[in-house]
Chain A
Amino acid sequence: MTRVPCKRGWEVEALVDGRLVGKDRASLERHVETCEDCGRSVMRMRELGGLLSALPTTDRTSLERRRERADLLTRANERLVGGEGRRSGFWVALALVPAVAVLAVLLARPAATVAVGPALPPSAATLDGPPASAGFEVTDVDHASFTTEQRDATSRVALRSGTASFHVEHVRPGARFVVALPDGEVEVRGTRFVLEVADGHTRSVVVTEGVVEVRLREFSGLLRAGERWPRAPVAAPVSRPQRSGEPTTTGGHAASSVPADATGVAAAVGAAAVSTAIAAAGSAATSPAEPSAREVLAGPLASVAAEPGPASGLTGPGPRFAAAMSAYNAGDYGEAERRFVAFGAEFPSDSRAEDAMFLLAEVRARRGDLAGAREAARAYLRRFPAGLRAPAATRLARDTPAAPAPPP
């Protein structure tokens, strides 16, 4: 004869799991005391739970645990800064080499303004174009050979060889500004950029402000502020220029690091000079009355983060650090640098000061200010010799700019 199980057996699990409350629970508890089936079920479930809880789980010594913790934070740090340790530093350095090569030369010889269009600074020789043409300025950076041509509303500069820096004011509707190159052309609507041509080929395009449309045999597409062609394997964004009138922390820092003999810039502090040149270019480009291309490109985030301190309501360390991180994540490294510097000065004992000090070195490296990055990294290591970011900071502190690579 088959024994019939208790009809309330299905409720027992709910009792063990704590899903029964109030009268239901009290009722079943009374039932369990008298029902052999249910009592045994409760006992077995609890015993099973006890057995399972007592099963050994792996554990570690405190030393192993500390090691794993440090390893975790190192890996997390590498992820957050967007690289993989040494590999990141290598690619950043590699990406900076061509930009250094072009722009260090810019400092190596006195720049000579050789052609300008309308509406440019009075210090420049003016070559008036038609009313609808674009205002522009072409600077001979390194043996630039070019001609200018004005036809109707189109300003055309033919760059045959050498390196030239361009500053083009916002092109009016109906007007065009085109740089003709041996192997293509570049068209802009209002920007600053540097072109290098050699042996009948375009070697590089570095954009410091605005947007440039490049049409070459090897590449066609848009380059925005901070971008360059040929592209590096890992993006190493160059800073967007500072807002006019803003303190330029890196610029000031880097300017003092540039040796008098600027021919050694590329090998010594060339990247710092790049940062200085670009920041200075951006600062000069933007008049207070005129919204800059940077503001358009950076978007609302930059506007929010533009004014740190009590005036903007960012009074505590948390919001201030978050604002710096926002600028960092948005790629506005100039702004991020300014905010990290301010954070470190105002909240030196905050727990985030370590992150701020390290990220200051990181943003300087990303801006191309390797001398400033080294200085910041060394300051970090002095204060946090056993810090979480010490390995990465050590790399930043000892990295030196690589020699300029030959043109591709």
Chain B
Amino acid sequence: MSATDARRAPEPEDASDAELVARLRSGEVSALGVLYDRYDHDVRRVVARLGVPSGDVDDVVQATFLDVLSAAARYDGRENARPWLVGLAVIQVRRRRRWTSRLAARLSRVAREPVPHTRTPEERVASSELADRAQRALDSLSPKKREVVVLITLEGLSGEDVAARLGIPVATVWTRLHHARREMIAAVFEEGS
């Protein structure tokens, strides 16, 4: 434990998420540290699953938690901040995607070949063939479909939460998930068969 951690009074660690956000709103930076301790792993996982290359995950996670500073005023007061933070992460990923899309559009004038997402040797060794197919299937989904797959299937958020975070009707959430599943099942289990 670092000196910084050691001198922290236990009080913030015991506070609810809603209270931490309220404290942050009043200028208490250390509350952000506690939120980070609680949810950075979740946010990081979501960001990675949404297709952000590993080299950029740190930046997106940082941007997500910095976004908490300005978004705190709009927090709905629920005890568990995880769905809210996941929603902020999705927004950051979308921003990054738009930025990279514009960059890619510019680069494509020079080179038409898309740059494939390369995986590290460790990732290659660790993954089985089915897992490889699942990863490819996930990567091939459209961003909108991928969002609902990650948030519902992998992160366990409710359809209502996802609809609220993405700003779409609940029925649209299930429709996107349905189509995403069909595509992925076809790709993973019937590929080559």
Residues of A near any B CB (own CB < 8 A): 13, 17, 19, 44-45, 47-49, 51-59, 65-66, 68-73, 75-77, 79-80, 318, 321-322, 325-326, 328-329, 349-352, 354-355, 359, 384-389
Contact = CB atoms under 8 A, between A and B. Distances in A.
Contacts of A71: 62
Nearest to A69: B36
B153 A76 contact: no
Interface in B1-54: 2-4, 7-9, 11-12, 23, 26-30, 32-33, 36-37, 40-41, 44-45, 48-49, 54
Contact of B29 (A13, A58, A355): A355
Nearest to B33: A73
B29 A76 contact: yes
A355 B131 contact: no
A80 B40 CA distance: 20
Contact of A58 (B3, B28, B44, B152): B44
Contact of B66 (A76, A350, A351, A388): A76
B149 interface: yes
Given A17-B152, A76-B32, A321 B44 contact: no
Contacts of B29: 73, 76-77, 80, 355, 388-389
A82 to B, nearest CB: 11
B159 A72 contact: no
Contact of A55 (B7, B37, B134): B134
Interface string B169-193: 0000010011001001100110000
Nearest to A19: B159
B181 A322 contact: no
A73 to B, nearest CB: 5
Contact of B62 (A17, A47, A68): A68
B9 A350 contact: yes
A322 B27 CA distance: 8
A269 B131 CA distance: 67
B88 interface: no
Contacts of A388: 4, 29-30, 33
B65 A58 contact: no
Given A48-B134, A75-B66, A325-B27, A13 B177 contact: yes
Interface in B44-92: 44-45, 48-49, 54, 57-58, 61-62, 65-66, 69
Interface string B130-155: 11011100100000000001001110
A200 to B, nearest CB: 46
A68 B58 contact: yes
A73 B27 contact: no
Contacts of A329: 27
Contacts of B110: none
Contacts of A389: 29
A21 to B, nearest CB: 13
Given A350-B9, A388-B4, A55 B138 contact: yes
B90 to A, nearest CB: 16
B45 A48 contact: no
B37 A52 contact: no
Given A328-B27, A352-B23, 9 more contacts: A57-B48, A321-B27, A322-B26, A351-B30, A355-B27, A386-B3, A386-B4, A387-B4, A387-B7
Contacts, number: 134
A286 B17 CA distance: 45
Contact of B127 (A45, A56, A384): A56
A54 B123 CA distance: 12
Contacts of B65: 72, 76
B126 interface: yes
Nearest to B134: A51
Given A76-B69, A351-B9, A386-B2, A52 B134 contact: yes
A217 B49 CA distance: 60
B133 to A, nearest CB: 8
Contacts of A56: 122-123, 126-127
14 contacts: A47-B189, A48-B185, A51-B130, A52-B154, A56-B126, A57-B48, A58-B44, A58-B48, A72-B32, A72-B66, A73-B29, A73-B36, A352-B23, A389-B29
B138 A52 contact: yes
A350 B12 CA distance: 10
B153 A52 contact: yes
Contacts of B181: 13, 45, 48
Contacts of B36: 69, 72-73
A322 B28 CA distance: 9
B69 A57 contact: no
A66 B2 contact: yes
Contacts of A75: 62, 66
Given A52-B134, A56-B126, A59-B44, A355 B62 contact: no
Contacts of A386: 2-4
Contacts of A76: 29, 32, 65-66, 69
Nearest to B15: A351
Contact of B40 (A57, A69, A352): A69
Contacts of B152: 17
A55 B135 contact: yes
Given A52-B134, A52-B154, A70 B4 contact: yes
